[in-house]
Amino acid sequence: MRVLVVTAVAAESDSVAAGLAVAGYARLDEEFIRRAPFAGPEFSPSPLTRYGRAGHEIHVYPAGVGPAAAAAGTAVALGRAQDPGYDLAISTGIGGGFPGVAPLGSLVVASGLIAADLGAGSPEGFLPVTELGFGRDRLAAPRGLCQDVARAIGALAGPVLTVTTATGTAERAAEHLARHPSAVAEAMEGFGVAEAADQYGLPALEIRAISNSVGPRDRSAWRIGDALAALTDAFGKLPPVLESWTSHEH
């Protein structure tokens, strides 16, 4: 088994790594895979770090914030993979939970990864890219794997929205729910990771630890530490599920 785990920032990758250590995965090596020869002195390349046990490997990569960075970073990592390549890509990190659905500190697993603001405005309201007649705005996670992961880590399964601008008002939250009434959470990278993975013929998952509520932006109510701890707990329980799934798939 080889799995690529993509986060936005290093704090999320560190939380994943802490969970993998609990699961018995040892750090193997690290590679700075993104090269920017014309970048200024402030540029800091992101390390892809490999962890393994008993012939299984999980690689963790902080690709950057937002769907574009996530897609580009995932594509670079997948393109540089050596045989046997990857079996699965996972987008993970903290995210916002819809009130009354996904409480702070809880975990969610995306049954569908939806690009919620990919489209166009109109006098009648937002038009998703699919209604415009080109592109796609959603990808599905492997159903059996999604359910198995949700059970193993104690997560809620449901659609997770990918946005390019984090929701900061009750009105915006209501708009999202009007279009996606079963959505459980929002984040900024999942669809980008899934889109890149799909180009390589790979399935994708998204796992989010809830740090804040989707709605009015209130930093005093955020629980980032609790969410990162939940992420560590999730990845401490996750590897056996992935190992079993990939062995059955192959």
Asked if residues 201 and 188 have their Cβ atoms less than 8 Å apart, the reply is no
Question: Among all chains, which residue has been given the structure tokens 């038009």?
Answer: 127
Asked if residues 1 and 52 have their Cβ atoms less than 8 Å apart, the reply is no
pLDDT digits (tens, 9 = 90+) for 197-228: 999 999 999 999 999 999 999 999 999 999 99
pLDDT digits (tens, 9 = 90+) for 98-140: 999 999 999 999 999 999 998 898 888 888 888 888 889 999 9
Alpha-carbon dihedral 94, 99, 103, 106, rounded to 10 degrees: -40
**How far is the C-alpha of 224 from the C-alpha of 193, rounded, in Å?**
22
Q: What is the DSSP letter of 45?
A: P
Nearest to 23 by CA among 152, 202, 200: 152
Residue type, 122: S
pLDDT digits (tens, 9 = 90+) for 12-45: 999 999 999 999 999 999 887 655 555 555 556 7
Residue type, 237: K
* Global model pTM greater than 0.85: yes
HSE of 46, CA atoms in CB hemisphere, 13 A: 24
HSE of 73, CA atoms in CB hemisphere, 13 A: 31
Alpha-carbon dihedral 52, 26, 71, 209, rounded to 10 degrees: 120
Give me 217's structure tokens: 């932006």
Strand partners, 206: 91
pLDDT digits (tens, 9 = 90+) for 71-85: 999 999 999 887 779
Give me 51's structure tokens: 């962890």
